[in-house]
A and B are shown apart, each in its own frame.
Chain A
Amino acid sequence: MKTIFKFATLTLTLTIMMFAVSVSSFAAAAKAENLVRGIIGPVASNTSWSGYSTMALIPGAGLIPITSTKAVFYLGFTAGSEADINNMVLYTTARGSSTITASTPVTLGGISNPSIDLASATVCPVVEISDFNPCIVRLDPTTITLSALNDYYLVVYFTADDSNDTALGLTQPSFGQSSLRGSYVTGDESRLSVGGSIPNTPFSNQPYMLMYVMND
């Protein structure tokens, strides 16, 4: 009886230990990884964004083969004390198409119209943000599994007639090594509906502001 009990205890302990090791291995695999090749190196800057919609294309053709149930967007700011965002959204289209097939809200701190306090050291650890020390803001994880069959457009509309946004500087990549592309238009393009079209603007440049798309 005692032997059986000892054997059972030993086996149970071994099982728990192996389970713990296995779980820790899985946890390690969940580290932050690039979902697409992001902006490379230090950047230049582009200012005055009040009343503009920035549009960043995350092309399915450029996705790195990682499966993730969420996408995390990182925005880069190079000047200003506060960014007043009116709305943020992620549009899905078929690969190479401009027809919107899905619209997914994007948030920061749970809201889609945040004001980002760039003067706060908790938001931007480097006190004076610049081209060489941009403030990189991590948005809330968006629940979406990016597919190589689709293209995705992250659209951020900056509030019109807003002096904070007039003084705002966004990252502008120096040269085109990223898989990301971008453009911008005047007016609010963040409230388009499924079946609508992505604005007809060339996406031949690197994106303003969007720097990285990761799994965490």
Chain B
Amino acid sequence: MKTVCKFATLTLMMFAVTVCGFSQRLSAPKPATATQNLIRGVIGSPGNDSEWSNYSLFNLVPGSGLFPITSSTTVFYFGFTAGTEADIGNMVVYTTARGSLTITATTPVTLGGKSDPSIMLSNTSVCPVAPSTAAPCIVRFDPTSLTLSPANDYYFVVYYVSDTNNSNIAGTSPSQTQTSLAGTYFGGTDYTHLTVGGTIPGAANRGPSFLMYVMND
């Protein structure tokens, strides 16, 4: 009986110590739920690039630039600097191996639950101030269920349909030194419907257009 009591007491003490340690670990990561950058976004004056009717816009989120934050969601923020309405035909994220252009996965991206939204830039609930280079209208897309990995690169691709609204929109266009993000674009073709095994049509060769931030929320 004495032995059993000793064993019970010892086990109870071990349990108490474990619970104590475990509770401290649980309380530590709380700050991770705050809104955080997953990569260095656009800093400084963002510049301006206009006329996007019938263009596919590629923004590269390189794995080699990712911060050590684990998030099961990825949120993209676009900066508009001119226009009254942006008509998007489709949006997607392509995953490739790091440094490669071969697509290994595709993930849809939405705004308000739609992958082909029209963004009303003249609406003050969307853009409290009319978009300009000095005061870009920053639009937050729906969180994408994507856990970014340093072993991959990610291409966020947006196709702007061919219309007059998109001829009049402009987006932020920083230099490459202002961010870890990069970009490129192609006119005349909707590149948002590529499939796994396909190839990104070209490497990023300039700073990102429109894409300003990639965050966990």
| Residue B189, interface by CB 8 Å | no
B1-18 toward A: CB 8 Å interface, digit per residue (1/0)? 100110110011011001
Contacts of A25 in B (CB 8 A): 25
Please state if B25 and A41 are interface contacts (CB–CB under 8 Å).
Answer: no
List residues 1-57 of chain A with CB under 8 A from any CB of chain B: 1, 4-5, 7-8, 11-12, 14-15, 18-19, 21-22, 25, 28, 31-34, 37-43
Please state if A5 and B4 are interface contacts (CB–CB under 8 Å).
Answer: yes
Whether A134 contacts B150 in the complex (CB less than 8 A), given A1-B1, A212-B64, comes out as no
| Residue B62, interface by CB 8 Å | yes
Minimum distance in angstroms from B80 CB to a CB of chain A: 24
Whether A33 contacts B203 in the complex (CB less than 8 A), given A4-B8, A19-B18, A171-B99, comes out as no
Contacts of A5 in B (CB 8 A): 4, 8
| Residue B92, interface by CB 8 Å | no
Q: CA–CA, A11 to B1, complex, Å?
A: 18
Minimum distance in angstroms from B94 CB to a CB of chain A: 13
Q: Which chain B residue has the least Cβ–Cβ distance from A215? A: B68
Q: CA–CA, A7 to B101, complex, Å?
A: 59
B67-87 toward A: CB 8 Å interface, digit per residue (1/0)? 110100000000000000000
| Residue B66, interface by CB 8 Å | yes
Minimum distance in angstroms from A57 CB to a CB of chain B: 16
Please state if A174 and B205 are interface contacts (CB–CB under 8 Å).
Answer: yes
Contact check: which of B15, B101, B149, B151 meets A133 at CB < 8 Å? B101
Please state if A8 and B64 are interface contacts (CB–CB under 8 Å).
Answer: no
Contacts of A28 in B (CB 8 A): 70
| Residue B164, interface by CB 8 Å | no
List residues 124-169 of chain A with CB under 8 A from any CB of chain B: 126, 132-134, 136
List residues 33-84 of chain B with CB under 8 A from any CB of chain A: 40, 60, 62-68, 70
**Which of the segments B106-114, B126-134, B138-146, B176-184 contacts the partner chain?**
B176-184
Contacts of B99 in A (CB 8 A): 39, 41-43, 76, 133-134, 136, 171, 211
| Residue A214, interface by CB 8 Å | yes
Contacts of A4 in B (CB 8 A): 4-5, 8
Size of the chain A interface, CB-CB below 8 angstroms = 43
Minimum distance in angstroms from A94 CB to a CB of chain B: 26
Q: CA–CA, A41 to B99, complex, Å?
A: 5
Please state if A40 and B67 are interface contacts (CB–CB under 8 Å).
Answer: no
List residues 184-217 of chain B with CB under 8 A from any CB of chain A: 199, 203-205
Contacts of A1 in B (CB 8 A): 1, 4
Q: CA–CA, A206 to B204, complex, Å?
A: 16
Please state if A15 and B11 are interface contacts (CB–CB under 8 Å).
Answer: yes
| Residue B102, interface by CB 8 Å | yes
Contacts of B18 in A (CB 8 A): 15, 18-19, 22
Q: Which chain B residue has the least Cβ–Cβ distance from A76? A: B99
**Chain B interface size, under 10 / 10 to 19 / 20 to 34 / 35 or more:** 35 or more
Please state if B11 and A212 are interface contacts (CB–CB under 8 Å).
Answer: no
Residue among A8, A31, A178 with the most chain B CB within 10 A? A8
Please state if B4 and A41 are interface contacts (CB–CB under 8 Å).
Answer: no
| Residue A199, interface by CB 8 Å | no
Residue among A11, A25, A41, A43 with the most chain B CB within 10 A? A41
Minimum distance in angstroms from A136 CB to a CB of chain B: 6
Contacts of B66 in A (CB 8 A): 33-34
B149-173 toward A: CB 8 Å interface, digit per residue (1/0)? 1110100000000000000000000
Q: CA–CA, A174 to B60, complex, Å?
A: 14
Q: Which chain A residue has the least Cβ–Cβ distance from B184? A: A41
Contacts of B63 in A (CB 8 A): 34
A205-216 toward B: CB 8 Å interface, digit per residue (1/0)? 000000110100
| Residue A187, interface by CB 8 Å | no
22 contacts between A and B (CB under 8 A): A5-B8, A8-B4, A18-B18, A22-B21, A33-B68, A34-B65, A37-B40, A37-B64, A37-B180, A40-B65, A40-B182, A40-B204, A66-B68, A133-B99, A133-B100, A133-B101, A134-B99, A175-B205, A176-B176, A177-B177, A177-B179, A177-B182
